[in-house]
Amino acid sequence: MKIIMLGAPGAGKGTQAKMIAERYNIPHVSTGDIFRANIKNNTELGRKAKEYMDKGELVPDELTVSILLDRVAQDDCKTGYVLDGFPRTIPQAEILDQELTKLGETIDFAINVDVPDENIIRRMSGRRACVSCGATYHIEHIPPKKEGICDTCGSELILRDDDKPETVKNRLNVYHTQTQPLIEYYSKKGVLRDVDGTRDMKDVFDDITSILGQA
């Protein structure tokens, strides 16, 4: 089962993708995680990606497509995967379709987690990330036991540059211009399914499992 997660940045699609991966025993393939690992290790890709991410802009297709295709070609993806953060543009979706067609495969579901912009700005400005282990929190919904300190490793928690309100607004503008057209793209292919992302996380997941089927 090959699944794509759609939705604006901060809509909660990453959290749902992880839950889907666990429920259906398929890999959670997150381009964001791949980029952050490269940034942490100060690779050439990481340095290039960081320049775009810090401004709330999309990482160019040529940087994104090559690492994604390499990842889904690995053995653990043979029975399926859930893509989180890819594709983000129509050209990326077309390249993915072309590569899957060569393998005789297609995307089974594109799940769109729908959340209004104002909800997203409030959500993301409350997020905090650990500078060491990468654990994430939210000052309202998932607060750390001690303010500003990671529960897991005791390191400092920060508001990432790409979660600051001004950057979030820019990311949303980019989303509406470049990524939102994917909703129509996958709708025309007959694989799009919409879920209301404003509700409780578990309720959203229940909607998704109803779409994908029980396991």
Give the model confidence (pLDDT) of 108-146 as tens digits.
Answer: 999 999 999 999 998 888 999 999 998 999 998 899 999
CA distances from 39 to 109, 132, 153 (A): 30, 13, 20
Instruction: Give per-residue pLDDT as tens, 34-87.
Output: 788 788 889 887 888 888 888 888 788 877 877 788 788 889 998 999 999 899
Write out pLDDT tens, residues 157-182: 999 888 888 999 998 999 999 899 99
| Domain membership of residue 111 as a residue range | 2-116+164-212
For residue 110, the surrounding DSSP H or E stretch is strand 109-114
Is residue 197 domain-resident? yes
Beta carbons within 10 angstroms of residue 20's beta carbon: 25
CATH of the domain at 17: 3.40.50.300
- 154 occurs within a structural domain: no
Helix 44-53 to helix 61-72 angle (10° resolution) is: 120
- Reply yes or no on whether 171 is catalytic: yes
Residue 88 annotated in active site: yes
In a domain, 203, yes or no: yes
Answer yes or no: 128 catalytic: no
Catalytic residue selected from 2, 36, 50, 88:
88
Q: Among the options 23, 55, 160, 164, which is catalytic?
A: 160
Does the annotation count 13 as an active-site position?
A: yes
Angle between helices 44-53 and 31-40 (to 10 degrees): 120
Q: State the catalytic residue, choosing from 2, 13, 36, 123.
A: 13
Count how many domains the chain has: 1
In a domain, 168, yes or no: yes
On whether residue 80 sits in a domain, the answer given is: yes
Q: In this structure, are residues 194 and 170 in contact, taking their beta carbons and an 8 Å threshold?
A: no
Q: What is the pLDDT of residue 214?
A: 62
On whether residue 111 sits in a domain, the answer given is yes
Any domain includes 123: no
Q: Look at residue 16 and tell me if it is in a domain.
A: yes
pLDDT band at 194 (very low <50, low <70, confident <90, very high): very high
- Quick check: 20 pLDDT over 80? yes
